């Protein structure tokens, strides 16, 4: 078998006695698309926080692309190729759609700071390249026509899409999506589903999708993990997960 892109062993995270995540494990192959579901408070966002170095693991080991990133900083993890979106949208609300993506590109060291500060000859070229890259990303996410629009005036579904564009600006190998369909109407969720499938299929991305919208999860994921009270209680195909009594019990709170 090929070497997995991501290997997570025996991962745990506690916050002052609260076990947010425990005994978590995952082997994720290149170009896999896995879903992570579970009731509120199950530890899903914590998993992303640990994987991205924002909330360092209490125990366990994370190996990404052959590199041990368990104790790496968020910046190093980003450079290694992991990007994420947030459960609550984080955008520069007053800036244009294009500038949001431009900042995303800049924030990750693709521009040499001294050239920007000193306005060296390289600067204008850099700026043009940056703008072009930003426009390409907007194109890819069908946001090109909104380039000049102020971010917070975009319809909600498109703001979510813009967040994905910003995450992709870092050219990740692994994209972590935290409830991207939250708050979307059915049409927006449908469009998001198609987008995720396209990113996965055409752009060779590996994706972990946290999502409450079951239509979206079941529609795009190849494999699903279920968390409850910080523990993995089930893992399998969408079909198997939908019939798993432990999953029904976790969601409905009753023995199925």
Ligand X SMILES: Nc1ncnc2c1ncn2[C@@H]1O[C@H](COP(=O)(O)OP(=O)(O)O)[C@@H](O)[C@H]1O
Give the one residue of 24, 26, 37, 46 binding ligand X; rule: CB under 6 A: 46
Q: Helix, strand, or coil here: 245?
A: helix
Under a CB-based contact definition with an 8 Å cutoff, are residues 80 and 131 in contact? no
Give the one residue of 8, 22, 45, 213 binding ligand X; rule: CB under 6 A: 45
The reply on whether position 18 binds ligand X by CB under 6 A is yes
Q: Which stretch binds Mg ion (CB under 5 A): 9-17, 29-37, 42-50, 186-194?
A: 42-50
Q: Which stretch binds ligand X (CB under 6 A): 13-21, 56-64, 130-138, 198-206?
A: 13-21
The reply on whether position 238 binds ligand X by CB under 6 A is no
Under a CB-based contact definition with an 8 Å cutoff, are residues 236 and 206 in contact? no
Nearer to ligand X, 45 or 170 (CB): 45
d(CA 208, CA 28): 9
**C-alpha separations of 187 from 172, 178, 180, 196 in Å:** 27, 19, 14, 14
d(CA 233, CA 245): 10
What are the b/e assignments for 148-163, b being 16+ CB within 10 Å?
Answer: eeebeebeebbbbbbb
Shortest distance, position 21 Cβ to ligand X, whole Å: 7
Give the one residue of 22, 45, 111, 225 binding Mg ion; rule: CB under 5 A: 45
**C-alpha separations of 13 from 47, 72, 74, 173 in Å:** 8, 15, 16, 24
The reply on whether position 44 binds ligand X by CB under 6 A is yes
Shortest distance, position 179 Cβ to Mg ion, whole Å: 6
Identify residues 110-169 at the interface with ligand X (CB under 6 A): none
Give the one residue of 5, 6, 11, 20 binding ligand X; rule: CB under 6 A: 20
Tokens, residue 86: 């947030």
Nearer to ligand X, 42 or 216 (CB): 42
Nearer to ligand X, 25 or 135 (CB): 25
Residues that bind ligand X (CB under 6 A): 15, 18, 20, 38, 40-46
Residues that bind Mg ion (CB under 5 A): 44-45, 87
């Amino acid at each position: 078998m090929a070497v997995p892109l991501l290997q997570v062993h025996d991962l745990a995270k506690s916050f002052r006695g609260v076990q947010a995540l425990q005994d978590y494990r995952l082997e994720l192959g290149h170009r896999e698309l896995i879903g992570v579901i579970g009731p509120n408070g199950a530890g899903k966002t914590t998993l992303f926080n640990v994987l991205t170095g924002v909330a360092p693991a209490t125990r366990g080991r994370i190996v990404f692309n052959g590199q041990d990133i368990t104790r790496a900083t968020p910046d190093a993890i980003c450079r290694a190729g992991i990007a994420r979106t947030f459960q609550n949208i984080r955008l520069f609300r007053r800036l244009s759609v294009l500038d949001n993506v431009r900042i995303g590109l800049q924030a990750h060291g693709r521009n040499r700071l001294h050239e920007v500060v000193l306005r060296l000859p390289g600067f204008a070229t850099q700026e043009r390249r940056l703008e072009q890259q930003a426009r390409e990303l907007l194109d890819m996410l069908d946001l090109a026509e909104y380039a000049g629009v102020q971010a917070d005036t975009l319809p909600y579904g498109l703001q979510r899409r813009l967040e994905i564009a910003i995450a992709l600006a870092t050219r990740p190998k692994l994209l972590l999506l935290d409830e991207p369909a939250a708050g979307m109407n059915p049409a927006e969720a449908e469009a998001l589903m198609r987008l995720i499938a396209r990113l996965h299929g055409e752009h060779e991305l590996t994706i972990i999708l946290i999502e409450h919208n079951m239509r979206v999860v079941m529609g795009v994921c190849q494999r699903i993990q279920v968390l409850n009270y910080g523990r993995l209680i089930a893992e399998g195909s969408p079909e198997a997960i939908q019939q798993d009594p432990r999953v029904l019990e976790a969601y409905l709170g009753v023995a199925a």
